[in-house]
């Protein structure tokens, strides 16, 4: 292919489903070459996403890169392969992550280490090697990380390890932005709240079971705690990322952006109250 073309190249990790898929679709619709990453075990899902992107989003180019983001060697090779394929890398979206739902006091050390290896180490490696490539190119760039509402305030239970990783990503994002600004590289993160993804469905199932509720009932109650009354979609986060990687966002860096203004509107307070009510319900302390 013509490597002199100035079509932007975006690498999205964890793109086989959920928010990663939504971001990949949006950036493809924006006219970018999209390089999609996930684990080899997610090959079927990633292939399906690539085929759908080519058919629906009209992607100029779409490539697949299977790698474990917690492996330094694999991340280095992944980025090298993207550069070899397209001639460079303009946008790094470090989206890959896992969401363990285990009570803090029951969290095994092995699980704690695993979630930090994937969520935090993986983000570090993607930031580092994408940053090295962008500095080498000398044309600036955009680096995006995946924080969370749980990285703004430790809400609810079952998310101790996950929340720790998302707070860490916030801090890393802000620190790295300070270092890379002189190279015209911006570093930001998105912090979704309630987004309708497979990970959310798994979380809802666990919470509903603990509260002796049907998942549908719990999801409706959860939605009621959101000012707008409904969950967002991966495409909504794709829209946010689309802006953060655009030229218009050249003066935004070191920020972790919520997908709405829920933080200012008392969402976290309402969500905490909701969790308390669920906990009370699950323990049988229900007023009659």
Catalytic residues: 162, 166
Q: Where are the alpha helices (DSSP H) in the chain?
A: 18-29, 43-52, 72-86, 109-116, 122-137, 160-180, 198-210, 215-224, 234-244, 267-282
Backbone angles phi, psi at 254, to 5 degrees: 75, 15
Which of 157, 171, 20 minimizes the C-alpha distance to 100? 157
Query: Is residue 153 a contact partner of residue 225, using CB atoms and an 8 Å limit?
Result: no
What whole-number distance in Å separates Cα of residue 164 and Cα of residue 102?
Answer: 13
What whole-number distance in Å separates Cα of residue 230 and Cα of residue 228?
Answer: 6
Q: What is the DSSP string of 81-150?
A: HHHHHHS---EEEE---------GGG--HHHHHHHHIIIIIHHHHHHHHHHHHHHHHTS-EEEEEE--GG
What whole-number distance in Å separates Cα of residue 89 and Cα of residue 76?
Answer: 13
Q: Euclidean distance between the first and final Cα of the chain, in Å?
A: 69
Partnered with residue 257 across adjacent β-strands are 190
């Amino acid at each position: 292919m013509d490597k002199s073309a100035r079509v932007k190249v975006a690498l999205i990790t964890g793109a086989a489903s959920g928010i990663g898929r939504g971001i990949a679709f949006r950036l493809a619709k924006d006219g970018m070459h999209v390089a999609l990453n996930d684990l080899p075990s997610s090959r079927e899902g990633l292939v399906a996403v690539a085929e759908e992107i080519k058919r629906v989003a009209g992607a100029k180019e779409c490539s697949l890169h299977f790698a474990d983001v917690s492996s330094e060697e694999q991340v280095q090779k992944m980025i090298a392969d993207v550069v070899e394929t397209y001639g460079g890398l303009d946008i790094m979206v470090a989206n890959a992550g896992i969401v363990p739902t285990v009570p803090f006091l029951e969290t095994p050390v092995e699980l704690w280490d695993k979630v930090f290896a994937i969520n935090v180490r993986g983000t570090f490696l993607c930031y580092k090697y994408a940053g090295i490539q962008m500095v080498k190119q000398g044309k600036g760039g955009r680096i995006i990380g995946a924080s969370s509402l749980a990285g703004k305030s430790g809400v609810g239970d079952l998310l101790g390890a996950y929340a720790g990783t998302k707070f860490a990503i916030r801090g890393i994002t802000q620190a790295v932005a300070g270092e890379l600004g002189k190279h015209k590289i911006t570093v930001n993160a998105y912090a979704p709240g309630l987004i309708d993804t497979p990970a959310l469905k798994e979380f809802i199932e666990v919470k509903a079971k603990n509260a002796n509720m049907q998942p549908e009932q719990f999801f409706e109650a959860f939605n009621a705690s959101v000012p707008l009354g409904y969950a967002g979609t991966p495409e909504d986060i794709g829209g946010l990322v689309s802006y953060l990687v655009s030229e218009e966002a050249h003066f935004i860096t070191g920020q972790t952006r919520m997908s709405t203004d829920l933080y200012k509107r008392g969402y976290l307070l309402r969500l905490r109250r909701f969790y308390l009510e669920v906990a009370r319900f699950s323990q049988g302390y229900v007023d009659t």
